[in-house]
Amino acid sequence: MTLLHRLLFFLFSLTLCSADPIGQFCNNQKNLSSSQTSANVDRLLAELATTTALNSFSTASYGRGPNKVYGLAQCRGDVSPNDCSTCITGAVRQIRQRCPNQADARIWYDYCFLCYNTEDFFDQLDTGFGIFLYNVADVTDGEVFERELGALMDRIRPQALMPMNRALGKGETKVSPFVTIYGLVQCTRDLSQLSCAQCLAIAIAKFPSFCQYKEGCQVIYSSCNVRYEIYPFFFPLDPSKKVVAGTFYKSVVYP
């Protein structure tokens, strides 16, 4: 590993440990009904923090009757077990601080996603709450860029439907000698292949509305997320490529 590669890895790890979440959703329409339900949430989160890094994904439930809670934790399929564990541990701590009384809570980071609910949401397609981020800079040749971006998404989307890929698809394509698009798509692994395909189609369809001709974009839902950049952002990192994240605008969309 070159010095540059080690430096990039250190910076990514530092960001992972210290950065604020991309966003969170605390459903103020659903409060925890009792101290027992709140205690069950704590036990559920402790279990997810312990088990998720083993396979970068975990679901669990805890309690009985009206106090039962359901949870899901997932890391991006390309990150290491150590980075996954660090991300989920931070997410467990932050979600209870940011959503202390809510019975439906979700939190997103670059490397992981965590949620819990008093209703069983497993294998339920959810695109009701969305976080959209786009780079404020425009590309130079928008039509060519959009065409190549569409082709890249068409190529990596089927990867996420293959069980061995951990619901993850990623790849890159050259637009010009100086511009490469890097793309990543991922569903939560509780979804069926059909639900995953539907979620990714909905997310990618948002690109023209929110990110047309932009150098980078993320569309994030509870069931899936899609992202593209003109710099490498997924592992393994290419030490020969420059990482310049740019400035992003964030938009939160409710149902």
Residue 79 CA to residue 98 CA, distance in Å, equals 25
User: What confidence score (pLDDT) does residue 115 get?
Assistant: 98
Is residue 164 classed as helix, strand or coil in its secondary structure?
Answer: helix
Which residue type occupies 106? R
pLDDT at 35 over 60: yes
Structure tokens at 44: 């559920």
User: What confidence score (pLDDT) does residue 8 get?
Assistant: 32
- Least confident span in 56-65, 188-197, 221-230, 231-240: 231-240
pTM for this prediction: 0.89
User: What confidence score (pLDDT) does residue 255 get?
Assistant: 52
- pLDDT (tens digit, 9 = 90+) per residue, 39-81? 999 999 999 999 999 999 999 999 999 999 999 999 999 999 9
Domain ranges of the chain: 3-117, 130-253
Which comes out higher in pLDDT, residue 163 or 220? Answer: 220
- Mean pLDDT of the 186-212 span: 97
Q: Name the percent of the chain lying above pLDDT 70.
A: 89
User: What confidence score (pLDDT) does residue 50 get?
Assistant: 96
Under CATH, which architecture does the 130-253 domain have?
Answer: 2-Layer Sandwich (3.30)
Which comes out higher in pLDDT, residue 238 or 104? Answer: 104
Distances (CA, A) of 5 to 82, 231, 234: 18, 15, 13
User: What confidence score (pLDDT) does residue 18 get?
Assistant: 42
Using an 8 Å Cβ cutoff, are 116 and 71 in contact?
A: yes
Q: Which CATH class is domain 3-117?
A: alpha beta
**Mean of the per-residue pLDDT values for the chain?**
91
User: What confidence score (pLDDT) does residue 238 get?
Assistant: 73
Q: Name the percent of the chain lying above pLDDT 90.
A: 85
User: What confidence score (pLDDT) does residue 250 get?
Assistant: 82
- pLDDT (tens digit, 9 = 90+) per residue, 79-121? 999 999 999 999 999 999 999 999 999 999 999 999 999 999 9
- Mean pLDDT of the 18-25 span: 86
> Helices (H) and strands (E) in the chain — how many of each?
6, 11
Element (H, E) at 187: strand 179-187
Alpha-helical (H) ranges within 132-188 are: 142-156
- pLDDT (tens digit, 9 = 90+) per residue, 142-170? 999 999 999 999 999 999 999 899 999 99
pLDDT at 7 over 90: no
Question: Does 130-253 match 3-117 at the fold level?
Answer: yes
Phi then psi for residue 223, to 5 deg, are -100, -15
pLDDT at 245 over 70: no
